[in-house]
Structure 1
Amino acid sequence: MSGSVPRAGDPAPDFTLPDTHGTPTQLADLRGQSVLLVFFPFAFSGTCTAELSELRDTVEDFEAAGVRLLAVSTDPVFTLKAWQEIEGFGFDLLSDFWPHGAAASAFGVFDEESGHALRGSFLVDADGIVRWSLVRPRGARRELDEYRAALAEI
């Protein structure tokens, strides 16, 4: 892994990544609202689909808390767009494809050996400060209750 994982109280590293329409999304531009960043390894994989489907099915919980959900992987834009259309994800998927893994590296969750992001989640407050983070090793999934506990703290 490259970079270090930001801890609660650290400023969130800034990035600009394209969404599934190619539109750039810059984290710094989202100041004024809380953001949940969900890094995941691969579109169309079983665990990632299960995790993001749970988030899709409960996205209103995040919206009610004033939190914008952004899911990030090193997949190309076109792969993410196809996956989003098939799964009906109602939140933005961002491509960290090029420079490959730059955002994941900045958050300390890029696995250089395999070339993909680990499962890392970061709750960033309206001022751009990390308030909560969770990083899982390969093969370990995140649980919805962990996100709910983080939301309860803001």
Structure 2
Amino acid sequence: MAIEVGTKAPEFELRNQHGETVRLADFRGEKNVVLLFYPFAFTGVCTGELCALRDELPKFVNDDVQLLAVSNDAPFSLRVFAEQEGLEYPLLSDFWPHGEVSRAYGVFDEEKGCAVRGTFVIDKEGVVRWTVENGLADARDLNDYVKALGSL
């Protein structure tokens, strides 16, 4: 079960597609965070969602907001995926321990071995202010993220 609105967002430290460490705490007091979990790189719906974010990037990466996309892929796969699709925002690897952060947020599907489509808007104080979870085959609506960010 996904963590609820009003809950303190679980801290994490993951590597991005360039092998750099990214921590949720890095943005505390500085930026709101759109934390997006997706099943796997190179899959149809995931690629579509992440490219849609790329195409609207100024709404999700700016002085006030940071987009962080998390999957259970290895960092090397994420690097190739980012290069292939022109994704210039952080793709974080929750590969090992496998799904640890996805589990902390309640969006890991044990049967499938991957994260489901869960999104969390986290404010500058580290509190979850909005969340949505979609099934593996169902893309999310980016306009919902924009509305949630506008309410902060």
Aligned to 2:100: 102
Q: How does 1:42-53 map to 2 (within 5 A)?
A: 42-53=40-51
Whether the 8 Å CA contact 2:32–2:66 is kept in 1: the answer is: yes
Cα deviation, residue 65, structure 1: 6.8
Question: Partner of 2:114 in structure 1?
Answer: 116
Shift of 1:8: 1.4
Partner of 2:61: 63
**Helix, strand or coil: the match of 2:34?**
strand
Q: Is 2:25 aligned against 1:25?
A: no
Task: State how far apart, in whole Å, the 2-side matches of 1:63 and 1:30 are.
Answer: 12
Q: How does 1:1-154 map to 2 (within 5 A)?
A: 4-32=1-29, 33-64=31-62, 66-154=64-152
| TM-score, normalization by structure 1 | 0.94
Question: d(CA) in 1 for partners of 2:93 and 2:62?
Answer: 26
Backbone CA RMSD of aligned residues: 1.1
CA distance in 2, matches of 1:52, 1:6: 23
Equivalent pairs, count? 151
* Letter of the structure 1 residue corresponding to residue 26 of structure 2: D
Question: Percent identity, aligned pairs only?
Answer: 47
Aligned-residue offset at 1:42: 0.7
Contact 1:65 1:151 in 2 (8 A): no
